């Protein structure tokens, strides 16, 4: 048994048993992958995969048990490397943060500036991804920290922490019919064409649920991944923008007026998540503490310590 065989087991599960994709991910040949699987099965004396001809369809019962152990073994091996790096090079290395555009553009700049000032030798990689992609990056170990509003809560493999709460705001061009109003209802808002986020991004679900609960069908004429694009088309007069409140800057958005969103829009919560059992370097804990001092290293360590194999 060797680590390459273990990696093949893990990749096969992650890539829906497509051996071509497994081979590409591990920079080897498909025939090499098949041979490693056969050698491991011969060594263990059991079949690990359900097959149809040469195709893999899934895991056998012993294969499922082994996959859990493999995941733990590979994570522990990765953690050993991180542990060694922590003591050999305390203030240098790489920190990978997976987050959405909204967080990277509006919530994180101050944190990143403080972090880079404290750890100039650490390479900080910001991966801008969808919430679902962030979960996948955390679960695979490709990201150390994930930050988003959607998807991070209630994932068994992740420990997530509240960073901050926020609400949606409206943006309109100066001189717009709504520009002087101080309180806008959902019914009033539904009378105008709207521009807001794509589904699954930056609280879009809360917006849809608010209109549905009121029995209203909003006229969403455009959707985008980030507030900058939304504001651009609002300035062109194509509709009323619904954006995260943190995404409006009076000086930079001089041509627009920000208004409070309807009371029916629920409060959103941006969360910070880390995979349970994932070893973090000391500077990673500092990054989280810069986001929120209440999320201390002790809190993170206690929450990310795996309590069972199912966490892994």
pLDDT at 134: 96
Out of 1.10.10.10, 3.30.499.10, 3.90.1300.10, 1.10.10.1100, select the CATH number for domain 3-83.
1.10.10.10
Rg from Cα positions in the chain: 24
Residue 68 Cα distances to 35, 71, 129, 144, 259, angstroms: 22, 5, 27, 21, 50
CA distance 170 to 149: 19
3-state secondary structure of 32: helix
pLDDT digits (tens, 9 = 90+) for 262-276: 999 999 999 999 999
Q: What b/e string do you get for 113-146 counting C-beta neighbours within 10 Å, with b at 16 or more?
A: eebeeebeebeeeeebbbbebbbbbbbebebbbb
Query: What number does CATH give the domain 168-266?
Result: 3.40.190.10
DSSP annotation of 266: P
Decide whether 3-83 matches 91-164+269-311 in CATH topology: no
Question: What pLDDT does residue 88 have?
Answer: 54
* Phi–psi pair at 209, nearest 5 degrees: -65, -35
CA distance 37 to 31: 10
Q: How far apart are CA 262 and CA 266, in angstroms?
A: 9
pLDDT mean across residues, the chain: 90
Residues 228, 253: Cα–Cα separation, whole Å? 10
Residues 6+ apart with CB under 8 A from 67: 9, 10, 13, 59
pLDDT tens for each residue of 274-307: 999 888 888 999 999 999 999 999 999 999 886 5
Domain ranges of the chain: 3-83, 91-164+269-311, 168-266
pLDDT tens-digit map of 72-100:
777 777 767 766 666 656 677 899 999 99
Beta bridge partner(s), residue 256: 173
Q: Which two tokens stand for residue 208?
A: 């849809």
* 83: helix, strand or coil: helix
* CA-based nearest residue to 224, from 105, 305, 111: 105
| pLDDT at 119 > cutoff 70 | yes
Residue 310 pLDDT more than 50?
no
pLDDT of residue 204: 94
Question: Higher model confidence: residue 36 or residue 248?
Answer: 248
Q: For 120-275, list the strands marked E by DSSP.
A: 122-128, 145-148, 158-166, 168-173, 193-197, 219-224, 240-244, 256-260, 268-275
Residue predicted with more confidence, 270 or 46: 270
Question: In the chain, pLDDT over 70 holds for what percent of residues?
Answer: 94
Cβ atoms 6, 68 nearer than 8 A: no
Task: Report the C-alpha gap between 264 and 211 in whole angstroms.
Answer: 8
Q: 91-164+269-311, which class in CATH?
A: alpha beta
């Amino acid at each position: 048994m060797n680590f390459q065989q273990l990696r093949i087991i893990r990749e096969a599960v992650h890539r829906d048993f497509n051996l071509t994709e497994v081979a590409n991910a591990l920079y080897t040949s498909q025939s090499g992958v098949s041979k490693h699987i056969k050698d491991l099965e011969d060594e263990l004396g059991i079949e690990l995969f359900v097959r149809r001809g040469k195709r893999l369809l899934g895991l056998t019962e012993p294969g499922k048990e082994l996959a859990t152990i493999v995941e733990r073994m590979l994570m522990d091996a990765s953690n050993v490397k991180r542990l060694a790096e922590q003591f050999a090079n305390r203030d240098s290395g790489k920190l990978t943060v997976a987050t959405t555009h909204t967080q990277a553009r509006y919530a994180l700049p101050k944190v990143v500036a403080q972090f880079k000032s404290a750890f100039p030798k650490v390479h900080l990689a910001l991966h801008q991804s969808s919430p679902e992609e962030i979960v996948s990056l955390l679960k695979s170990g490709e990201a150390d920290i994930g930050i988003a509003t959607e998807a991070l809560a209630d994932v068994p493999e992740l420990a997530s922490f509240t960073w901050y709460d926020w609400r949606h705001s409206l943006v309109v061009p100066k001189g717009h019919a709504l520009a002087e109003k101080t309180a806008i209802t959902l019914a009033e808002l539904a009378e105008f064409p709207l521009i807001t986020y794509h589904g699954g991004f930056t609280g879009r679900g809360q917006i849809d649920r608010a209109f549905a609960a009121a029995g209203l069908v909003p006229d969403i004429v455009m959707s985008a991944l980030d507030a900058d694009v939304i504001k651009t088309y609002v300035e062109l007069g194509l509709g009323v923008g619904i954006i995260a409140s943190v995404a409006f800057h009076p000086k930079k958005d001089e041509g627009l007026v920000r208004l409070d969103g309807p009371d029916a829009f629920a409060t959103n919560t941006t969360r910070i998540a880390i995979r349970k059992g994932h070893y973090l370097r000391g500077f990673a804990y500092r990054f989280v503490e810069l986001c929120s001092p209440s999320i201390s290293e002790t809190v993170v360590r206690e929450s990310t310590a795996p309590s069972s194999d199912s966490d892994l």
